Amino acid sequence: MARAALPGRLNWQLGRVVDTIQQTHRAKSLVLDLPNWPGHRAGQHVDIRLTSDDGYQAQRGYSIASAPEDDGVTLTVDRLEGGEVSPYLTDVVEPGDEIEVRGPIGGYFVWDGTEPQHPLLLLAGGSGVVPFRSILRHRARIGSTVPVRLLYSARSLPDVIYRPELAASGDGVDVSYTLTRQQPPGWTGHSGRVTPDLLAGVAWPDDLMPLAFVCGPTAFVETVAGALVGLGYPAGQVKTERYGGAGAS
């Protein structure tokens, strides 16, 4: 699509925070009203820019958690202890505040629902689940019946973002968890980091021509994407979004 057809798309604009929702002890959603929002595709992200009183600026990417059909643009930020930007967004920002936003960004890590012949495999590490919330909501809103498997790696059950919403995903969406640090008594889900063996049990067989999306900390994405290719997934059918950092969830 010609950039000229989307005037102002990559310009910074001020978004007003109209609501905040505490999702977990570390993660908070910010609902933004963006008067000049051109619309987005499920899976895209925005840049956020903060400017301090002395003019110092910090900029970070955040996936869009809301579906294209939803009102407002929702971001969900996981607070990184000692981080420069995320603790400000989770602990300081409140409704009524204005934040600089640029986007939507990204044309590769997106799912429009126009290829219903490919089952979806969504693999999330930590806050890497955020764009998948947009994809799942979009799937529901367009009435898609594409079968979906989501494997979500989180530290512990209280760290799982959108848990009630994921539990209510409905027909055709199978959600499983692996808890890496702490499992509650009687836990029947998976434990530990995502391994090739765990993936082999969860992934669609490659002859179904699935489309895989992998999102989260860089180490998580690289391990999981490599394991999928090892299972026979063509690299072109494994889309990745790296959030940075070395830590795996």
**Closest CB 88 distance from ligand FAD, rounded Å:** 8
Identify the burial level of 28 via C-beta atoms within 10 angstroms of its C-beta, where 0-12 means exposed, 13-18 middle and 19 or more buried.
buried
The reply to whether 241 sits near ligand FAD by the rule CB under 6 A is yes
Residue 135 interacts with ligand FAD (CB under 6 A)? no
**What phi, psi does 233 have (nearest 5°)?**
-70, 125
Per CB under 6 A, does 83 bind ligand FAD?
yes
For 123, the token pair is 């693999």
Contacts with ligand FAD, 176-215, as mask; x by CB under 6 A? ----------------------------------------
Query: Does 62 contact ligand FAD by CB under 6 A?
Result: yes
Cβ proximity to ligand FAD, 113 vs 245, nearer residue: 245
Per CB under 6 A, the segment of 35-43, 76-84, 112-120, 176-184 that binds ligand FAD is 76-84
- How many chain residues interact with ligand FAD (CB under 6 A)? 22
Binding mask 5-44 for ligand FAD (x = CB under 6 A): ----------------------------------------
Binding of ligand FAD by 137 (CB under 6 A): no
Compute the C-alpha angle 148/112/228, nearest 5°. 45
Q: Using the rule CB under 6 A, which residue among 101, 120, 121, 130 binds ligand FAD?
A: 130
| Structure token pair of residue 53 | 């009183």
Select from 6-14, 66-74, 83-91, 204-212 the region that touches ligand FAD (CB under 6 A): 83-91
**Is the CB of 73 or the CB of 203 nearer to ligand FAD?**
73
84 forms part of the interface with ligand FAD (CB under 6 A):
yes
Give yes or no for residue 102 binding ligand FAD (CB under 6 A).
no
Contact residues toward ligand FAD (CB under 6 A) are 45, 60-63, 76-78, 80, 82-86, 127, 130, 217, 241, 243-245, 247
